[in-house]
Structure 1
Amino acid sequence: MWDQILALWVGVENFVLSLAQPGWRLYQVLIILGIALVAWGLHRVSSTAMNSWVRAREGWTPWQLRGLVQVRRRLGLIWFSLMSWTLFAVMQQVTWPSRSYLIGLAATLATAWIAIALASALVRNRFLRRLVKWVLWIYVTLFYLGISGQIAAFLDGLALSIGSFHLSVLDVLLAIAVIGVLFTGARILSGAASASIKKNEDISPSMQVLAVKVLQLILYTGAFFIGLRAIGIDLTGLAVLSGAIGVGLGFGLQKVVSNLVSGVIILLDKSIKPGDVISLGDTFGWIQTLGARYASVVTRDGKEYLIPNEDLITGQVVNWSHSNDFVRLDIYFGTSYGDDPHKVRALAIEAAKSVERVLTYRAPVCHIVGFGDSSVDYILRFWIRDPTAGLTNIRGNVYLALWDAFQANGISIPFPQREVRMLNERDAAALGD
């Protein structure tokens, strides 16, 4: 192993020493440096012009804009590649091929680096994207320099061997690169399949979420194991280890597993689905998304609560839109004893009907519910079918309509009153005795 590294070092040393002597090898290195300097200047100029052009684009999709950003970042390499290939083609025609070999090698490496940078942008995870990009950059560079075999043998020698199990640094690097590529393909496939599933109106929203989650689990799990098998790692040796890890995770992650199972149950029984209006304790809001571990509930004031799926299974949840969108609301009010209750009931019903969101084909009703200390107490019941538009605001509008109707018809709304008696001196003395 060390003999290969020593031979590689000697080759690099001989190449560097050859540059000290005048000749076409030195001239090619100087030409490459000159092209790099010109490409850097063109990058500065063209990057500014491209920024102004991109800002003027309207209606472009996010992926198109991200693609332009990736191209702008690599403008220097693109200019270097174009000029290098042009000069290489010219020199191949006018002089000996050996006098342009290094220029062609530089052009090839620049083109490969550009392709890897643009392709790795498809990987969403920032750490994984950079890791895959640098691994591929290093591999391509070593491959075209003709020293990939020596480096691969060296990295394969840095290994952990236990019985038949063999894991080297080379295996780890290849696994990262292959799994990164497969994960990117899995993400693209799952994104396309998810868009197709969500467009199918015959599938309920909850089943759409379940189908997307199952598809993602299958694709990503398959990509992981296929990647390990593709580089020759024997998975049977990991069976016992994975079993022990599974037992430990089972005890340590009981809540997580419970939430995962509860999420699957919710999606299967369709008790809660995205868009439903629910109440859980003091939380009232709309189901925005159903995740594998929690449900996202957005309230009227913009707060987003992440409620564990287990709470939705074990707790008492009020789903305002489970089987249908009809919701009955009750409001209470009182009028004085001097007002005709028949007239009060008729005015209350008409006032409720005048509010825009109150359903008229499910007519409001008003009943006397008691005789209070200072008022006759009523309940007004009405129906709506759009709870997602809010409940407090519709109650407020009905109360306002009642106020206007009572003011127009002379109906008074009493309030508690207290009588204060002023005692004279004789009454005060008698009270003291």
Structure 2
Amino acid sequence: MKEPFSNLLQKAWIDVHDPQVVWQIAVLLSCFVLAWAAGRALRLGSVEADGIWKFGVGGLRRILFPVVALIPLTLGISLLKHWIEVDLLRLFVPLLVSLLLVRLFFYLLRHVFARGSIVRTFERAIAVLVWGALVLHVSGLLPEVIDYLDDIAFHFGTQEFTLWLVLQGVFWAVITLLTALWLSGTIEARLMRAESLHSSLRVVFSRLATALLVLLALLLVLPLLGIDLTALSLFGGAIGVGLGFGLQKIASNYVSGFIILLDRSIRIGDLITVDNFYGEVKSITTRYVVVRALDGREAIIPNELLIATTVLNHSYSNRQIRLGLDLQIAYRSDLQRAMQLMEEAARKHARVLADPPATAFVLRFADSGIDLQLGVWIDDPENGTLSIRSELYLDIWRAFQEAGIEIPYPQQEVRILPNASGTPG
């Protein structure tokens, strides 16, 4: 019959005072050196893989050290137990198994939750806490620690709490919230793959699912702390007043965000002008919208501003926009030929639409020449307008050079007239 782990720590301490413990230490060091050498030799971190193979290689890299260390450790225990006590070696078996399970568990969590989530941020701290709890359990010290924490009590109103009860509540709160976030992530992934739903509706449903699951998690955790949910009704009015005054702007932004997502007045990819900022909508959240200008600048615009002010949506019902290119030709140039060349240059450009067609107009007869405008239509304004304007102007200039059409510069004609008596002044 196997000896319970609760006695291992005490017996391992006795082994430490035995001169023959050097054999056990030698076996431990050999196991750790072998595990380290195996990791260096395999170099799993440099292995290139995709898909499920990448997931498998990453998992093997995480558990390689404890697995390789456990194999010679168990063999060493089997061989040495016939001659000496091996309680120190036996103590490291559950410790390495706990390390293996913790690493495997958190490796799975890294793939469940998105990059940058709170789980991945505090992964190392959470892993240390979980492994420490397992160490206390296998060493038999956990009951004593629990009794000590249970003796530390404090009062909150009429209710009495112990430190152990609070830690239990925090533990279950973390587990419940992680489960809720995992479920919301799964629902969001499925919604984002639903081609029949509009992108805005997918975002709305995913946000609602996350909020409802987190609320449900909190309602499940509070009774575990011994908190009566009916008592929270006393604070409902105070919280409502606080939201109405102190958090009015934040609440307004969240409500505005759901309105924008539901009515689809602004969508991802739209080109909008708001508060004198022009750009493409890159992200819509429940609190703000990210607009990226064509020069790379990004503006974070609160949703309330989009609801309360006028927003110019350049691609709300149609992504086609008109560009007007103004230029001037001399009076002695062929006007009809100039307008024809302008339209031909526009028709040759790849970004100019054939329907509506490019058209040249006479704007006015100015002081130095005839003002013309070439109107063209494009359907990819997110690629910018400066490049197409420059290319069209260059093409028109080359065509004018070949046809002998002059682009004038401002000039004035000064005439000196004789005085009334006919004598020069």
1:146 to partner: Cα distance: 2.5
Contact 1:362 1:383 in 2 (8 A): yes
Pair 1:64-2:55 in alignment:
yes
Counterpart check, 1:44 vs 2:33: no
The question of whether the paired residues in 1 share the 8 Å contact of 2:200 and 2:264 is answered with: yes
| Residue of structure 2 equivalent to 1:7 | none
Q: Which amino acid aligns with 2:323?
A: L
Alignment of 1:147-296 (within 5 A): 147-230=141-224, 232-241=226-235, 244-245=238-239, 247-296=241-290
> For 1:129, which of 111, 123, 134 is the aligned residue?
123
Q: Is the 8 A contact 2:368 2:410 kept in 1?
A: yes
Check 1:373–1:281 CA distance in 2 against 1; reply closer, same or farther (3 A cut): farther
Cα displacement (A) at 1:138: 2.6
**Which structure 2 residue ranges, 5 or more long, are not aligned?**
1-6, 111-116, 417-423
CA contact (8 A) 2:322 2:375 kept: yes
- Aligned residues of 2:35 and 2:68 also touching (Cα < 8 A): yes
Q: Does 1:413 align with 2:407?
A: yes
Counterpart check, 1:120 vs 2:100: no
Contact 1:183 1:223 in 2 (8 A): yes
CA distance in 1, matches of 2:297, 2:288: 15
Q: Call closer, same or farther: CA 1:234–1:72 in 2, change over 3 Å.
A: farther
Asked if the contact 2:272/2:279 (under 8 Å) is kept, the reply is yes
Count of matched residue positions in the alignment of Structure 1 and Structure 2: 405
- Deviation (angstroms), 1:299: 2.2
1:41 partner amino acid: V
| Contact kept? 2:271, 2:314, Cα under 8 Å | yes
For residue 34 of structure 1, the aligned residue among 8, 26, 34 is: 26
- 2:357 match: secondary structure: coil
1:359 to 1:59, Cα distance in 2 relative to 1, 3 A: same
- Asked if residue 77 in structure 1 is aligned to residue 66 in structure 2, the reply is yes
Task: Work out whether residues 326 and 386 of structure 1, in 8 Å CA contact, stay in contact via their aligned partners in 2.
Answer: yes
One-letter code aligned to 1:260: Y
Change (3 A) 1:139 1:240: farther
For 2:227 and 2:83, the matched residues in 1 are separated by 49
Residues in 2 aligned to 1:335 and 1:74: alpha-carbon distance in whole angstroms: 77
Which moved further from structure 2: 261-270 or 412-421? 412-421
Query: Whole-Å Cα distance in 1 between the matches of residues 28 and 237 of structure 2?
Result: 54
Structure 1 residues 260, 13: CA separation in 2 closer, same or farther (over 3 Å shift)? closer
Any idea what the Cα deviations from partners look like across 1:160-215, whole Å, max 9, x if unmatched? 22354233322332233333333333333333322221222111111111122122
Give the distance between the partners of 1:421 and 1:49, measured in 2 at CA.
Answer: 95
Q: Which stretch of structure 1 is more off in the superposition, 228-237 or 34-43?
A: 228-237
Q: Is the 8 A contact 2:364 2:371 kept in 1?
A: yes
Q: 1:50 to 1:223 in 2, by over 3 A?
A: farther
**Equivalents in 1 of 2:68, 2:9: separation in Å?**
30
* Structure 1 length-normalised TM: 0.81
1:5 corresponds in structure 2 to: none
Letter in 1 for 2:40: T
Q: Decide whether aligned partners of structure 1 residues 231 and 89 sit closer, same or farther in structure 2, where only a CA change above 3 A counts.
A: farther
**Long gaps (5+) in structure 1:** 1-10, 423-429
- The alpha carbon displacement at 1:272 in A equals 1.1
Deviation at 1:18, TM superposition (A): 4.1
Q: 2:139 aligns with which of 145, 164, 168?
A: 145
What SS is found at the alignment partner of 1:155?
helix
1:355 to 349, 359, 380: 349
The answer to whether the 8 Å contact 1:365/1:380 transfers is yes
Out of 360, 368, 388, the position equivalent to 2:362 is 368
**Separation in 2 of the partners of 1:311 and 1:109?**
56
- Is the partner of 2:281 in helix, strand or coil? strand
- Separation of aligned partners in 1, 2:123 and 2:191: 28
Distance 1:240 1:132 in 2: 35
- The range that moved more, 119-128 or 135-144, is 119-128
Aligned to 1:379: 373
Identity %: 31
Structure 2 Cα separation of the partners of residues 32 and 241 of structure 1? 61
**RMSD between superposed Cα atoms in Å:** 3.5
How far is 1:135 from its partner?
3.0
| Contact persistence 1:271–1:322 (CA under 8 A) | yes
| Residue from 55, 63, 67 that aligns with 2:46 | 55
Which letter maps to 1:226? L
Deviation at 1:262, TM superposition (A): 1.4
- For residue 292 of structure 2, give the secondary structure of its aligned residue in structure 1: strand
SS in 1 for 2:265: coil
- CA-CA distance at 1:223 after TM superposition: 2.9
How many Å separate the matches in 1 of 2:166 and 2:218? 13
* 3-state SS, counterpart of residue 367 of structure 1: strand
Alpha-carbon distance between aligned partners in 1 of 2:157 and 2:249, rounded to the nearest angstrom = 37
Return the alpha-carbon distance in structure 1 between the equivalents of residues 53 and 188 of structure 2: 18
Contact 2:329 2:370 in 1 (8 A): yes
Cα displacement (A) at 1:379: 2.2
Deviation digits for residues 59-110 of structure 1 (CA, Å, limit 9, x no counterpart): 4589738x72x75465443333333344456678x699xx556644431232
Deviations 1:33-84 (A, max 9, x none): 4343223312432232343x4324144589738x72x754654433333333
Following TM superposition, by how much is the alpha carbon of 1:270 offset from its aligned partner in structure 2, in angstroms? 0.3
One-letter code of the match for 1:34? A
Alignment partners' CA distance in 2, 1:34 and 1:184: 42
**Corresponding position of 2:4:** none
Q: Secondary structure at the match of 2:196?
A: coil
